[in-house]
Structure 1
Amino acid sequence: MSTKITATALARDAKEFLAFKRAMGVGYQRAEFVLDSFVRFVRDQYGECSAPLERVVTEWTARIEGRKAVTVGNEFGVVRQLCLFRRRSDPHCFVPDHAVAPVKESTFVPYIFSREEVLALLDAATQHEGRSMWGAMLRALTLVMYCTGMRLGEAVRLHMVDVDLRRAILTVQRSKGRSRILAIRDDLAEELREYIRHREKVLTTSGADDPTTLFIRLDGSTLTVHAASNALRCLLRELGLKPQRGRSGARPYELRHAFAVHRLTAWAEEGADVHAKLPWLSAYLGHQNVLGTEVYLKATPQLLQLASERFEQHSRRKRRLR
């Protein structure tokens, strides 16, 4: 017998499911958005009439034509988890098969800045003069993102207490549920010392109280993620690395990808065991596990070529030993 549900019952179950997940320490903010969408769909389609859960899930998954498979798969996973939760109280509750949305891995290929493009972006940031965005600040922000692989939000939210230039470490506070300490090179530490001297002058000139955040605007106020993202995107458009309109092309987030790929490439060129290094890079980037870092192994032809050459050298040595 098929499982039947109503929008009201589904909303109640979704609320209990979210409370259950959060009691275990899972934020589930994105999942809440997905479940709200699912409940609204059921209410719009069926009102308060009961409907077969199997049909509802299938219709909801296919409600928008042409969506990316990974997006459908991620949303479907949340709804399937809800169905599994409902089975706790109803052993016969329908649970959709994974075949409804089989693709789980993203096919998105990030844009990887070349070193020349990073230098061009850094030069453009240094020369920028705006009403609130200023060159020294954008230069330091760009350097922090590229030299540490920080996410834009992590870099923008750094506070002065998170910066220990004597020991050359930066502390990322509670990002993605955890904090991490990042060692930095001496040249980046020196760049940050120079920026902090400029920062003190900006605060003196503006007469503003120190907001305690590392990155500030010309009026002395705290830099926001939105403002930083807009400024960096404008620089990318000016350099021709991003179209004048639309969301395609390079993004500020790509500095994180460039850091990872350039670091892996340097290790490969040094002859290091790249796979053995992955856990270190994963921890530095703040990934939940090493699987999130492995995607960078296939990010550039250069890295693949190095891997191919290493494998060929290894094969030749084995043939000579026979």
Structure 2
Amino acid sequence: MSTVINITELKNDAEKFVMFKRAMGFRYQRGAYEIDRFLRFLEEQWRNVDDIPLADAISDWCGRLPSRKAISVGCEFGIIRQFCLHRRRRDPTCYVPEQAFAPVKESAFLPYIFSHEEVLRILATASTLKGHFIWASMMRRLILLLYCTGIRLGEAARLKMEDVDLDRGKLLIRDSKRRTRFVPIREDLIAELQLYLYDRQMLLLDIGRVDHGTFFIRQKGGALSTHGASVAIREILRSIGIKPANGRTGARPYELRHTFAVHRLTAWAKDGSDIHAKLPFLSAYLGHQNILGTEVYLKATPQLLELASIRFEQHLRDSR
């Protein structure tokens, strides 16, 4: 017999499920959002129906937009399936859809990897940027920090003055993805950040603003937000033709993180290093929860694959 539910009961269970997830330490914003969309969909599709077959409801939800990508359907389905598994704790007879219903686990998406020439063009544009909120000295150093360390844009925007230790050459990334880590930085990046700190001090003195301690600040002295930084980087990418003038397609600010990882792996490959032996170090540096999140970069560039092929052919020749 299939599970039959009503909206009121399901809403109560959903509230308890989200509370459970957050009690486990997860922010669970995306999951809560998808569950809320699922409930609103049921209210619209099964209006004035007291008893809703849960299996049919989930099937209708997943198939509501036939043109959606399989990875998108799989991600949404996974959240609803977790919800059903949680309900089964209270009711062992509760319906839980099989994983094979939406089995796609891996995205076929490959990030855009900036070439070294494109990185130089981005930096050159950032170094002459003039805007109402964004100023060139800050923007140049923000992009350098993103490219040279691979930290996330949000991590960079949240940096405080005490998190940036230029004497010891390290950054403190606080509570990102439920982790805190130190990120060592090179001397040439340290020199750039020291120049920025001088410009930052002069800016605050000129405009008469109190220093609130945020490392990256806007031209008016306020804290740089992740959204503001993202918009500014997108405008740079559009201005030099890397990103289309309109729409959300093309390279994103997040590609600076991808580019750091791929360029680092490529440099190791050219040096003859064992890339797989290096992956755990790169994974820790990037703040990935496990090495699986880092392995995706191994297939992100044809150049890296070509280097691997050349090294394999050389290995075969040597073995003969």
Q: TM-score range by the shorter chain?
A: over 0.9
Give the letter for the 1:292 counterpart. Answer: G
Matched with 1:291 is 292
Pairing of 1:61-80 with structure 2 (within 5 A): 61-80=62-81
Matched with 1:267 is 268
Pairing of 1:191-210 with structure 2 (within 5 A): 191-210=192-211
Cα deviation for residue 221 of structure 1 reads 1.1
**3-state secondary structure, aligned to 2:172:** strand
C-alpha separation between the residues in 2 aligned to 1:158 and 1:22? 25
Give the letter for the 1:270 counterpart. Answer: D
Matched with 1:6 is 6
Cα deviation for residue 65 of structure 1 reads 2.7
Matched with 1:35 is 35
Give the letter for the 1:201 counterpart. Answer: M
Pairing of 1:1-322 with structure 2 (within 5 A): 1-47=1-47, 48-318=49-319, 320=320
Structure 2, unaligned runs of 5 or more: none
- Please list the CA deviations of residues 43-62 of structure 1 after superposition, one character each: whole Å capped at 9, or x if unmatched: 21223511111100000011
C-alpha separation between the residues in 1 aligned to 2:161 and 2:24? 33
| Equivalent pair of 1:297/1:304 in contact (CA under 8 Å) | yes
Deviates more, 1:194-203 or 1:304-313: 304-313
Cα deviation for residue 14 of structure 1 reads 1.1
Cα deviation for residue 41 of structure 1 reads 1.3
Cα deviation for residue 64 of structure 1 reads 1.8
Cα deviation for residue 22 of structure 1 reads 2.2
Deviates more, 1:91-100 or 1:1-10: 91-100
C-alpha separation between the residues in 2 aligned to 1:32 and 1:165? 40
C-alpha separation between the residues in 1 aligned to 2:27 and 2:133? 34
**3-state secondary structure, aligned to 1:245:** coil
C-alpha separation between the residues in 2 aligned to 1:219 and 1:15? 42
| Equivalent pair of 1:3/1:54 in contact (CA under 8 Å) | yes
Cα deviation for residue 201 of structure 1 reads 0.5
C-alpha separation between the residues in 2 aligned to 1:127 and 1:17? 50
Give the letter for the 1:295 counterpart. Answer: V
C-alpha separation between the residues in 2 aligned to 1:35 and 1:199? 44
| Equivalent pair of 1:6/1:42 in contact (CA under 8 Å) | no
- Please list the CA deviations of residues 253-291 of structure 1 after superposition, one character each: whole Å capped at 9, or x if unmatched: 110000000000001111111011111111111111110
C-alpha separation between the residues in 2 aligned to 1:27 and 1:129? 37
Deviates more, 1:309-318 or 1:233-242: 309-318
C-alpha separation between the residues in 1 aligned to 2:134 and 2:269? 38
User: How many aligned residue pairs are there?
Assistant: 319
Cα deviation for residue 163 of structure 1 reads 0.6
C-alpha separation between the residues in 2 aligned to 1:233 and 1:30? 24
TM score, norm. by length of structure 1: 0.97
**3-state secondary structure, aligned to 1:127:** coil
Deviates more, 1:307-316 or 1:182-191: 307-316
Give the letter for the 1:185 counterpart. Answer: R
| Equivalent pair of 1:145/1:155 in contact (CA under 8 Å) | yes
Task: Provide runs of 4+ in structure 1 moved above 6 Å.
Answer: none
C-alpha separation between the residues in 2 aligned to 1:17 and 1:205? 52
Structure 1, unaligned runs of 5 or more: none
Cα deviation for residue 123 of structure 1 reads 0.6
Give the letter for the 1:24 counterpart. Answer: M
C-alpha separation between the residues in 1 aligned to 2:243 and 2:224? 23
- Please list the CA deviations of residues 147-203 of structure 1 after superposition, one character each: whole Å capped at 9, or x if unmatched: 000111111111110110010001111111111100000000000000100000000
- Please list the CA deviations of residues 98-153 of structure 1 after superposition, one character each: whole Å capped at 9, or x if unmatched: 22212121111110000110011001000111122111110000000000001111
TM score, norm. by length of structure 2: 0.97
**3-state secondary structure, aligned to 1:31:** helix
Q: What is the root-mean-square deviation of aligned Cα atoms in Å?
A: 1.0
C-alpha separation between the residues in 1 aligned to 2:296 and 2:111? 10
Q: What's the % identity of the aligned pairs?
A: 57
Give the letter for the 2:227 counterpart. Answer: H
C-alpha separation between the residues in 1 aligned to 2:132 and 2:31? 39
C-alpha separation between the residues in 2 aligned to 1:302 and 1:140? 28
